[in-house]
């Protein structure tokens, strides 16, 4: 299992909060991070150490 950090960021890319995630791979970590989308949080940034894994657009999820 690898450790990831998921940051909820606002529209100005300021960190609102963060979560530590454990996942076996990037795909599983992205799936977990997508669940962190909530009202008022347009983006989740998922990091593993100094590597940006994914920038998740939460507003796209709300439209579908």
Cα–Cα distances (Å) from 35 to 50, 55, 61, in that order, read 22, 13, 10
Q: What is the pLDDT of residue 59?
A: 85
In the predicted structure, residue 61 carries a pLDDT above the cut 80:
no
Q: What is the pTM of this model?
A: 0.89
Cα(44)–Cα(9) distance, integer angstroms: 6
**Among the listed residues 2, 6, 10, the one whose alpha carbon sits nearest the alpha carbon of residue 45:** 6
Is 20 in a helix, a strand, or coil? strand
Between 53 and 11, the more confident residue is 53
Say if residues 13 and 43 touch (Cβ distance below 8 Å). Answer: yes
């Amino acid at each position: 299992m690898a450790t990831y950090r998921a940051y909820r960021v606002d529209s100005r890319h300021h960190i609102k909060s963060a979560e530590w995630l454990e996942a076996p791979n990037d795909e599983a970590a992205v799936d977990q991070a997508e669940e962190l989308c909530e009202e008022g949080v347009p983006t989740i940034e998922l990091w593993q150490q100094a590597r940006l894994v994914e920038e998740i657009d939460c507003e796209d999820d709300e439209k579908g």
